[in-house]
Structure 1
Amino acid sequence: MQLVVLTALTMVAFASNSVLTRLAVDGGHIDPSSFAIIRVLAGAATLGAVLVLKGGRIRWVGRSRAVGCISLAVYMAGFSLAYLTLDAGLGALILFGVVQIYMFAQSALTGTHPSPRQLFGAAIAFLGLMLALWPGAGGQSDVMGAGFMIVAGIGWAIYTVSGRGETDPLAATTANFILCLPLTAGALFWFAEHGSLIGWGLAILCGGVTSGLGYALWYSVLPRLAQNFAPVVQLSVPIIALLGGALLLGEGISLLVALAAALVVCGIALAITAEPKSGQEG
């Protein structure tokens, strides 16, 4: 029962990143550049504190450290800029769809031969993503906002793939956040315009709690989850974000977005729960 509760809290934390960012940026409480910088700073501080409390050590050097911190900076910047126009739920759906499709394609291109069921599931998810990107699908969405979120999704997918094989994910993530901070600040500082106490508070909450503690919590429950259940449970994130945006931000859920969400979630569920084809093609 405890594992179920902790897993549910983790998924809510991940979805809350979209709601908090949308609330802060679209609400005019802070500009997206300042939000991204403060979010990374708060995340780095929180992860560093958790690592120290656990008696761990930061892994400054690693084969994927440069790729990790750069791709994390790309994700943070694109994510914040996207929510100038995207609804919280639609943004999470686009991000989730891009990440999963990228990772599926990367796996297929590096030697894992997909089964017919995986290909069918990926095709359904891709169709759903195209519906989500359809002009006007999210009411307030536009091409530029969707483009920023696609960039964020690619950045997060690269970050995720680069972290495979890390022996200490928490230590690696802490190092990536700390190293990501000067990159994010250097790229976005000159575009920082304004911020209120509410905006700063939302950025700290997003970075320190729903990102930093959310990631730490995820690492604590991940080893206890069945291998196939871990990716499946993340299917709930865009759905939670859609509901959160509707309930907390008054965002509408159009029929097109609902259909897109259903296709993306069902398609990816088919793909990630299927066994890859065995053997090699000659």
Structure 2
Amino acid sequence: MKLPLLTALTMVAFAANSVLNRAAVGSGSIDPASFALIRVISGVVILCVVLAVRGTPLPLLRRARVPGALSLAVYMAGFSLSYVVLDAGLGALILFGVVQITMFGWGAARGSAPTRRQMAGAGTAFAGLMLVLWPGPGSQTDPLGALLMVAAGLGWAIYTISGRSEPDPLPATAANFVLCLPVLAVFLVNPDMFARPFGIALAVVSGAVTSGLGYALWYAVLPRLAQATAAVVQLSVPIIAIIAGAVLLGEPISALMVVAAALVLGGIAWAVTAPRHAKPGT
């Protein structure tokens, strides 16, 4: 029971980032730039504490730090800025769909030829994503907010891909957080920034607990999970965020959201559970 419990706790932590960000920024308790910066600072503190306890050095001077820090900054900025207008569940669905589709496309471009089942699953997920992103008379998705979350998803996908070669992801994550901070500061610091105690508290929880400790827990659990299991279990993150957003923030769950979530998550599940080598005719 220990592994399933820890895995479930990690997924809740990941989904909580969307709810915390939306609750803080959407309520006007903090501006998105301040939230992103406080989140990263809190993550730096907790991750460096974990490394100090482990006695692990901080690997700042590595070639992988450049794409890692820059892509993390894009993710952090896009994530926070988008939640000015997006609901927590919708944002999580867009983020997750973009990340998974991007990584699938990257694998295909690198020579990992997809099977028909994988292509069908990815196509279904993409159709679901387009359902919530496509502007129209009945659309409830803010175009700029959606675009910012798409950028966040691309940033996180690049961050994940660039970190695959890291021998120890935890110190690499801490180093990327440290180097991400000045990049964010250059682009986000402005004279209109504000932060009230409630917003600061949520940003600290998001950075230190659901991001910093959440990532540390995920890296501890990940080696004990099969690759397909690790991919499928993450499908729960947007669902948790949608439900939590409805219960805690009073966000509506529309029929369009339900259909889109079913297409995105079902398509990804169908793709990631496909055998690596398809049999003839399959």
TM-score range, shorter chain: over 0.9
**Alignment RMSD (CA, Å):** 1.6
- Aligned pair count reads 279
* Contact 1:57–1:171 (8 Å) recurs in 2: yes
Worse overlay, 148-157 or 56-65: 56-65
CA 1:191 to 1:104, structure 2 compared with 1: closer, same or farther past 3 Å? Answer: farther
Q: CA deviation at 1:187?
A: 1.2
CA 1:102 to 1:191, structure 2 compared with 1: closer, same or farther past 3 Å? Answer: farther
Partner of 1:118: 118
Amino acid paired to 2:169:
P
Q: CA deviation at 1:134?
A: 3.3
Amino acid paired to 1:249:
L
State the distance in 1 between where 2:177 and 2:161 align: 16
* Contact 1:7–1:221 (8 Å) recurs in 2: yes
Q: CA deviation at 1:141?
A: 2.9
* Identical-pair percentage: 61
Partner of 2:206: 206
Partner of 2:39: 39
1:100 and 2:111 are equivalent in the alignment: no
* Contact 2:25–2:83 (8 Å) recurs in 1: yes
Per-residue CA deviations over 1:44-84 (Å, capped at 9, x if unaligned) read 11111111112211111333210000000000000000000
Partner of 1:263: 263
Q: CA deviation at 1:116?
A: 0.3
Partner of 1:18: 18
Which TM-score applies when normalising by structure 2?
Answer: 0.96
Structure 1 gaps of 5+ residues are none
* Contact 1:32–1:84 (8 Å) recurs in 2: yes
Q: CA deviation at 1:149?
A: 0.2
CA 1:162 to 1:192, structure 2 compared with 1: closer, same or farther past 3 Å? Answer: farther
Partner of 1:152: 152
Per-residue CA deviations over 1:206-246 (Å, capped at 9, x if unaligned) read 01100000000001111111222111100000000000000
Structure 2 gaps of 5+ residues are none
1:243 and 2:250 are equivalent in the alignment: no
Partner of 2:9: 9
State the distance in 2 between where 1:140 and 1:203 align: 27
Q: CA deviation at 1:41?
A: 0.4
State the distance in 1 between where 2:47 and 2:214 align: 10
Which TM-score applies when normalising by structure 1?
Answer: 0.96
Partner of 2:56: 56
State the distance in 2 between where 1:62 and 1:231 align: 28
Q: CA deviation at 1:137?
A: 10
Partner of 1:171: 171
Partner of 1:83: 83
Partner of 2:184: 184
SS across alignment from 1:190 = coil
Amino acid paired to 1:119:
M
Amino acid paired to 1:80:
S
* Contact 1:125–1:265 (8 Å) recurs in 2: yes
After TM superposition, which residue ranges in structure 1, 4 or more long, deviate above 4 angstroms? 136-140
State the distance in 1 between where 2:177 and 2:191 align: 21
SS across alignment from 1:59 = coil
Q: CA deviation at 1:192?
A: 4.8
